[in-house]
Homo-oligomer: A and B are copies of this chain.
């Protein structure tokens, strides 16, 4: 009897699992002594361990009441707290009919994608974008199109033209401090997105993991918060605790029109039954304790200072050889090499020098559109002196690459 694996008949989106170029860099990013600006992780040393421990202790004291199945849409305590927090961001919603707890914003995006999309349907996402967001759309079997995004966010005129042509059911953007671009969509463009949603009858889905991490400039309300009249039916907002509290909680939420939200909850019932009632109670307790409101400014301050350090050291160490827009919040710089050397060619030299970044091309759903000279650099997880040292190393790497020096690191294309 043969022991060779058979050729399984996988569903089409799973026939060829996508490579994960970011994950393949992790061994280098984790190597002691190396400086990594490659990760999309929040800063571990900033986690509010004391506050989370206090919340956890309160929940464990009543643990016997937190061990059953949760409501599919989430614990009432947490929905109430999340609705309050969302209202502080400018978006008022009913915690019972318009808000549901999800397994991070990733699950929120997966649920709304599944509820709306099937093979033959179309979706649009800005480009560049976070690859897992693209995958959530693609795994529905729908066709995913991209519309260019830049320092001011998605190109609304290109979107208007494309939406008229392909009739997307959903359009996805990160409106504040996007990953990878660090871009923020202006209020005017947000209003335009709402107009287009009504005109073309698509759901405009804003994924907002970073919006609270603003350390400069003026707050712009969530897209759904700006919706009036008919536009209210087409605006969906999703967010997460992963960047402000901790990723390990796996707590996010979705705010959507009741008819849409109801189906997302149905999809969640078949997906994982509910999120952990235990962890939901910890998050609700942490929010009710007021620790969240105290903690977020600490992250803002730290990231703001690290962002300044990156801008300064990029200017010092790579003057004239790299261009960038300094973001007003979030975790990411989107920088561009302006010589002949592209970001993929530079990478082994950088790793050899002990600094790791992510080539921008991995964030393009359509490789043909990729900006080969772009690179994503996170300022979140390194302190100011590490960042300065990292940019010095990057300068040295660029020197070596320009000199066509031999390099010991070999990476998969």
Q: Which residues of A contact B (CB under 8 A)?
A: 1-3, 5-6, 8-14, 17-18, 20, 41, 44, 47, 49, 52-53, 56-57, 60, 63-64, 66-70, 102-104, 106-107, 110, 114-119, 121, 132, 135-136, 138-141, 169, 201, 203, 228-230, 232-234, 242, 246-250, 257-260, 262-263, 266-267, 269-279
Beta-carbon contact of B270 and A169 below 8 Å: no
Beta-carbon contact of B233 and A250 below 8 Å: no
Beta-carbon contact of A106 and B276 below 8 Å: no
Beta-carbon contact of A262 and B11 below 8 Å: no
Q: List the 3 closest pairs (A to B, CB-CB), nearest first.
A: A103-B272, A1-B229, A67-B246
Further contacts, 14 of them, CB under 8 A, given A6-B233, A6-B234, A14-B114: A8-B203, A13-B118, A14-B266, A18-B266, A53-B63, A67-B246, A102-B272, A103-B272, A103-B273, A107-B271, A118-B119, A132-B269, A135-B266, A136-B271
Bound Cα distance from A139 to B250, whole angstroms: 23
A35 to chain B, nearest CB (A): 18
Beta-carbon contact of B267 and A14 below 8 Å: yes
Beta-carbon contact of A248 and B271 below 8 Å: no
* CB-contact partner of A263 in B17, B138, B279, under 8 A: B17
Beta-carbon contact of B67 and A8 below 8 Å: no
Known interface pairs A1-B229, A67-B246, A248-B66; A270-B115 also in contact (CB < 8 Å):
no
Bound Cα distance from A47 to B114, whole angstroms: 35
Give the chain B neighbours of A201 by CB distance below 8 A: 6, 9
Beta-carbon contact of B270 and A135 below 8 Å: yes
Beta-carbon contact of A249 and B270 below 8 Å: no
Beta-carbon contact of A248 and B276 below 8 Å: yes
Beta-carbon contact of A64 and B41 below 8 Å: no
Beta-carbon contact of B272 and A107 below 8 Å: yes
A21 to chain B, nearest CB (A): 13
A245 to B, closest residue via Cβ: B67
Beta-carbon contact of B272 and A272 below 8 Å: yes
A56 to B, closest residue via Cβ: B60
Beta-carbon contact of A3 and B70 below 8 Å: no
Give the chain B neighbours of A259 by CB distance below 8 A: 5, 8
Beta-carbon contact of A3 and B229 below 8 Å: yes
Bound Cα distance from A356 to B18, whole angstroms: 49
A49 to B, closest residue via Cβ: B64
Give the chain B neighbours of A119 by CB distance below 8 A: 118-119, 141
A3 to B, closest residue via Cβ: B229
A2, A139, A258 pick with most chain B CB within 10 angstroms = A139
Bound Cα distance from A114 to B136, whole angstroms: 12
Beta-carbon contact of A230 and B2 below 8 Å: yes
Give the chain B neighbours of A5 by CB distance below 8 A: 233, 257-259
Beta-carbon contact of B67 and A272 below 8 Å: no
Beta-carbon contact of B249 and A278 below 8 Å: yes
* CB-contact partner of A248 in B6, B10, B70, B246, under 8 A: B70
Beta-carbon contact of B41 and A67 below 8 Å: no
Beta-carbon contact of B17 and A262 below 8 Å: yes
A9 to B, closest residue via Cβ: B169
Bound Cα distance from A246 to B57, whole angstroms: 18
Bound Cα distance from A260 to B5, whole angstroms: 10
A141 to B, closest residue via Cβ: B118
Give the chain B neighbours of A64 by CB distance below 8 A: 44, 47, 49
Give the chain B neighbours of A270 by CB distance below 8 A: 106, 110, 132, 135-136, 138-139
Known interface pairs A53-B63, A266-B18, A279-B278; A116-B11 also in contact (CB < 8 Å):
yes
Bound Cα distance from A273 to B249, whole angstroms: 11
* CB-contact partner of A278 in B41, B107, B248, under 8 A: B248
Beta-carbon contact of A271 and B274 below 8 Å: no
Give the chain B neighbours of A246 by CB distance below 8 A: 67-68, 278
Beta-carbon contact of A11 and B115 below 8 Å: yes
Bound Cα distance from A140 to B140, whole angstroms: 8
